[in-house]
Each structure stands twice: as C-alpha cells, then as structure tokens.
Amino acid sequence: MLDELVKNRLDAKKPRKEGLTCTVDKFQGFDRENFSIIAPFIDVVKIYGAFPMLVSDESLRKKVRFYHDLGIKVSTGSTITEFAIAENSLEKFAKEAAKAGFDIVEVGESGMDLNMAQKKKATETIKSAGLEFRWKVGKKDPRHQLGIDDTLEKIDEATKLESRKIVIEANEGYDVGIYDEKGGVKWSFVGAITNRYPPSTFIFEAPLESQQSALIAEFGQRVNLAEVHLDAVASVESQRRGFLAKSAFGVSYVRKDPEGGPAPKFIYYLIKTKNPVEQGELMTMSHLPRRTVQAAIDDLKRQGLIIERNSLDDARKKVYQPVHAEWL
C-alpha cells in the first residue's frame, strides 16, 4: 500500500549491522502466519533465561530452525551463560548451544563479577565452539546498579574483548541501567557512554515502547534495540522509517539539565550560550577559580553533556561545546 511513499531502511537487507531489532522468545504462543509477516523486521531472537534447559534437545533445535528459516539469528540469554560459568560447565554449554543451532551466546555479570582473565577465557571458549558472543553490561537488580564510572569501565573491558556489540541491561525497564524508576531515559547516563563510544557500539535493551520511541528519536533509525515485544516490532519498524507511533507522542527527547551542584549547571549554561569556549574564558565569565571550573568541566564530560576539542586557533588549548545528537 502506497509503496512509492514508504521510506526504505538504510540497511534493508539482513544480516544488518545497524538498526537491529532484537526480541525475546519466552515460549509464548504466537500466530506463525503473522510472525512471518514481521520476521523481516527482526534480526535476533533471544531464547529467554534458562528456558533452553526446560525442553528436549529436539524441540529446541526445531524452534531454532524455525527462526533460521525466516532469516533470524538466535541467541541465548546471559542468565543461562552465567549459570554455566558458575557451574564450571561453560565449555559443555557452548558445544551444546552450537549443536542446537544457536548463533550467539550472550554473556553478562548480573549475578557475578569476573576479572579480565576469566572474561577472556569465557569468550575464547564460546568462539572455539564456532559461536559469536555478545557481552552484556549492567545488573538486573535495581538495588545493585552500576554507576556511570563502573559502567564505562565494564564497557571498556567488553571493547577489549572485541564484542561486536555491547548490550546495555534494562531488565523490565524500570530503575535499571539507563532508565529511572518511572522508565524514563536518563539522558545524562546515555550521554556519558555515547560520548565515549558511538551509539552503534551498543544494543540498548528497551522493553517499553516509550523507551523505544525516545531512543529512535534521539539516535535515528539505525539505533540497535533489544527486548522488543513481538506486538511492538511493527511499531518500531514504522518509527525507523519515519512514522510516529502512539507511544512517541508525549515523550520528551530533550536531554535533561546537568546533575550536581550549581557550578556545573552554571558552566554548562555558559558553554551552551557561548561556544566553542576555552577554560580561561569560562573563568573570566563565571568569576570562579580554575579548580572549580575544571571540576565542573570534568563533571559535565562525565555526564556526556559537553565535548572537549583542540582549539583551531591554538592547538595547545582546549575548547568546549555542548553535545548534540547528530554528533553521537
């Protein structure tokens, strides 16, 4: 219908490198005919939790083949991988996952902490079975969340492990990772990680449709999303192509003001008002001491709200500009 008016995806054909839509199989019932219609919009299906352990090998292989026939890759969840690591059975698990037809093994540290040597050993074990791995960063429990600095450290480690994509944990979408207790996006958190790494590095878990809408609006059609419910897949695809969904209305995409004391907020206002601007100019305009201005700049960089660049007039000096979405 209206084919000549419908915008195509930049990465229209699978396998896609960007604009991934990843959903979850919780052994729920679904209409196979309708699923085949939305299958071109789905890149990866993750078999939820420890569910692969609950069915026969033949049933699992049959399920994986069903997705493969529709051009969809299949991943394990990080929960079963963590269980295998804890039971010293990762090698056996990887071999059985490969035999079942899985393409990807998701690895995380929600319930444990691994040192770099343990992480390298785990990824080598998975790769030796002929499988791709994806490292997940974050904790499922809202009571034990990682701060920005710890999150960046975990992302740095995952990058060193050469994870093709890094999954950002969201669990149910409330008070976990980049989301606040109401399910809203914490833009300062998102800005901090996308200021260091381009958004294409990540697959953002986004269980709520409002989260999907906000991230697509912020980063465009090529943002990678996971935990998309089946009934939201067509909506996500519509938004990637420029059509607003019901969930998009009333969602604020504007980055929040900086967090912290009055100094970072004042310095941020000055940078937004007059940019690019050097530290010396900020000291003159604010009448604040160098130490206070530098601390405010460091805080704003940590929150992902400003970018530091070399001055075009004097390479020895640094200038500061506010982050805009098109730069990320």
Q: pLDDT class for 76, splitting at 50, 70, 90?
A: very high
Q: Is 328 a residue whose pLDDT tops 50? A: no
Packing angle of the helix pair 233-240, 209-219 (nearest 10 deg) = 20
Dist CA 150 CA 133 (whole Å): 21
Sorted by sequence, the CB contacts under 8 Å of residue 6 that are 6+ apart come out as: 241
Q: Is 2 a residue whose pLDDT tops 70? A: no
Predicted local distance difference test score (pLDDT) of residue 120: 96
Predicted local distance difference test score (pLDDT) of residue 33: 87
pLDDT digits (tens, 9 = 90+) for 195-208: 889 999 999 999 99
pLDDT digits (tens, 9 = 90+) for 227-255: 999 999 999 999 888 776 555 555 544 45
Q: pLDDT class for 114, splitting at 50, 70, 90?
A: very high
Tokens of 274: 């007059």
Domains in the chain, ordered, with CATH?
3-248 (3.20.20.70), 262-327 (1.10.10.10)
Predicted local distance difference test score (pLDDT) of residue 58: 95
